Every structure is written in structure tokens, then in C-alpha cells.
Amino acid sequence: MQTRPLKIDGAWEFTPNTFADDRGFFLEWFKAEVFAETVGHPLTIAQANHSSSATGVLRGVHFAKVPPSQGKYVYCPKGSVLDVIVDIRVGSPTFGEWDSVLLDGRDRRAVYISEGLGHAFVSLEEGSNVTYLCSTGYTPGAEFGINPLDPELGLPWPSELTPILSDKDAAAPSLSEAAELGLLPTIKECQQFYAELRG
């Protein structure tokens, strides 16, 4: 498995080795030892999610209160999505910046998004499936969103697609509004939490 740090500190890309023959293929899309060596701590899996999305469905930008927030290891076994990681940590040198990775059923990459980062993706194909390994379960009242169409963020959604958002995501505040409301984590809070995870 190959790994690559993304532009946003706290996010990584994982590319598995695929073994294919005339019967099909086999791969290991998550390896605990590779993850821990790359990220600096193990991933405690508290919940596994699975979504299927029509073309143009845009989910996010989602994040949760730190601590504990929610680390996510995201994989697309079928179809394709453009996955976007946003640095929403107040005080971070890359605050408001983003990076993106194409996740699909061909190259079969995965991404890990550390606690305190924002996460979103858009489905590029009909029936794109995404699975998430999550470090914590869903916590009502501690999970928030930023509007993925916020022009301040300028996220790289394909212009040829008409984005389809949930009512909740469409009504989410902009990055500036979320900051004014005190919803965003700080880089200090996140770094303290990462240090605890590393022991």
C-alpha cells in the first residue's frame, strides 16, 4: 500500500495494491499497521457507514466538535466521487484551504480525514458507493456543516454537474458565519487531541 500526505496537515491518501486476474481482483483497502505508521496512532473503529449517491449528489462540508470529533477513513468501492478535505481549524496556517482526491472503483484510493477537518464529496457517477470507517459514532448536537457552495471556500465542484444538496447542507452557514457562531474547532484544540491519540 502506498501512502501520501495531502496539502492539508492531518489528511492522507492511501492507495492499495490490487491483484487482478481473469477471475476478478483482490485488494486490502485498509491495513491497521500501515495506517498507524502513516498517521502516528491506530484507528479505533466505532462505526462504519455506507452511502450510495446519484450523479451530482453533494454531501458536506461536515465536521464535529473537538474533542472527540470524528476521524474518517473514506473509500469508494463502486462509481466515483471527488472527495474534498477542508481545513476549518481556526489558527491553522492553511485555514480555509482545501485539497481533493478522486476516489473510484478503478484506482481504489482511500483518504483519511483527521478530527477537526471538514469533509465533503460529490458523486460523479450514478450509484457511486462510499464507505467510511469512523473513529466515533454519530453524536447529535455535536455535528455541524458548512455550505459546500460557499464562494469563500471556492471548492472544486465540476461545473458540468448540477449539485444536489440535502436541505440541511443547503441551509448550512458559510465558513465566515460558522466562525462567527463559534462552531469551528481551533488548531490548538485539534493538536492537543492528536497528541492524546498518539499517546
pLDDT at 63: 97
Task: Just list the catalytic residues.
Answer: 62, 132
Residue 112, pLDDT > 90, answer yes
Determine if the peptide bond prior to 93 is cis (ω within 30°).
no
Per-residue confidence at 83, pLDDT binned at 50, 70, 90?
very high
pLDDT at 140: 86
Mean pLDDT across 172-199: 97
Mean pLDDT across 149-172: 97
pLDDT at 188: 97
Closest CA to 60 of 179, 175, 181, 146: 146
Q: Write out the residue range of the structural domain in which residue 121 sits.
A: 2-198
Q: What is the CATH number of the domain that holds 33?
A: 2.60.120.10
Residue 28, pLDDT > 90, answer yes
Helix, strand, or coil here: 179?
A: helix
Q: What domain count does the chain have?
A: 1
Ordered strands of the 11-15 beta sheet: 2-5, 11-15, 110-113, 72-78, 128-134, 47-53
pTM for the model: 0.96
